[in-house]
Amino acid sequence: MGDRKPYPSDVTDAQWALLGPFLQAWRAKRISVAGRTGDHDLREIVNAILYQTRTGCQWAYLPHDLPQKSATYYYFALWRDDGTDQVIHDLLRCQTREKAGRREDPTAVAVDTQSIRAANHVPAATTGKDAGKKVPGRKRGLAVDALGLIIAVVVTAASVTDNAIGIRLLDKVAEHTPTVTVAWVDAGFKQDVGVHGAVLGIDVEVVKRADTQPGFVPVKKRWIVEQVYGTLMLHRRLAREYESRPESSVSRTLWASMAGMVRRLTGASTPTWRNA
């Protein structure tokens, strides 16, 4: 970081001690023909990605004291495409669960979707309109554990049904976290999700809200995924769909989640700009 003044989104020394070894090991495996492993400071690359995720700024508007756009995007795309972001995220999730006194992998998840309006530059081929909520853009599907840690992410056009997204989420959960045996969903997920879950060995339980009470009422077992969506909205890059590729939106979600987990693991407070 040198002598520059830190941004609220920067990782601390304690947080970099969690992230750094993974990325240094990744770099050590990427030796060029000339024997080079790269010159960029990976901590500053991470700081630039987290800055953009939190502030929502465009690539060209990254501050001059952070790595330039070309370098930051290069690593962001590389880690997205080779799965490095997913690997680090999952390892941090295991550590966070262990610190909370839980087993590394959960046995139950809460599943839900969220429709996000897309910016005007997002390709029409990857967007659509949510028939129920009338939101044009994309739909983000999450499966989270009881601690609110993300187990699986799916991003599609908003026109894709919750049913189809639920099936894709269950496939990801079964592939990466086979310990899960229960999934809590709302009434928007139809019978096909339950049947697919049964094939995977996951019992899909529909948890309905009590319509007799006015206003917002946290729904038992499912409230945690709603809370996660609310937390993600603090990251302005996720408050609207800005990414040209759905895969980039998935990666952004993982980075936002990682920022939260390293704060949990180091006992740091969450920076807020509510009074800015």
Q: Which two tokens stand for residue 227?
A: 């809370």
Mean pLDDT of 218-225: 79
Within a domain: 156: yes
Res 272: pLDDT: 56
The total of other beta-carbon atoms located within 10 Å of residue 69's CB is: 15
Closest CA to 53 of 193, 239, 268, 194: 239
Q: Is residue 145 part of a domain?
A: yes
**Closest to 78 (Cα-Cα) out of 39, 23, 138:** 23
Q: Which residues touch 159 (CB under 8 Å, ≥6 apart)?
A: 128, 129, 130, 131
pTM of the model: 0.91
Among residues 218, 161, 177, the alpha carbon closest in space to that of 86 is found at 177
Q: Is the pLDDT of residue 198 over 90?
A: yes
- Find out whether 268 and 50 touch, Cβ atoms under 8 Å: no
Which pLDDT value is given to residue 276?
Answer: 47
Q: How many CB atoms lie within 10 A of CB 56?
A: 15
Which residues is 154 bridged to in the sheet? 141
The enclosing domain of 238 has a CATH number of 3.30.420
Q: Which domain holds residue 184?
A: 108-242
Q: Which pLDDT band holds residue 274 (cuts at 50, 70, 90)?
A: low
Structure tokens at 164: 């189809």
The residue that leads in pLDDT, 191 or 260, is 260
Checking if the pLDDT of 185 tops 70, the result is yes
Q: What is the pLDDT of residue 109?
A: 96
The sign of the CA dihedral 25, 31, 36, 42 is negative
Indicate whether 6 belongs to any domain.
no
pLDDT, tens digit, 9 for 90 and up, residues 38-74: 678 999 999 999 999 999 999 999 999 999 999 999 9
Identify whether 29 is part of a domain: no
pLDDT digits (tens, 9 = 90+) for 68-115: 999 999 999 999 999 999 999 999 999 999 999 999 999 999 999 999
In a domain, 213, yes or no: yes
The model's confidence at residue 132, banded by pLDDT at 50, 70 and 90, is confident
Candidates 235, 255, 248, 253; CA nearest to 78 is 248
Other Cβ atoms less than 10 A from the Cβ of 118: the count is 23
Note the Cα 272 to chain centre separation in Å. Answer: 19
Q: Indicate whether 266 belongs to any domain.
A: no
* Angle, alpha carbons 241-83-232 (nearest 5°): 35
- Give how many domains the chain has, as a whole number: 1
pLDDT of residue 210: 64
Specify the 3-state DSSP secondary structure of 162.
helix
> Is residue 23 over pLDDT 60?
yes
Decide if 175 is inside a domain. yes
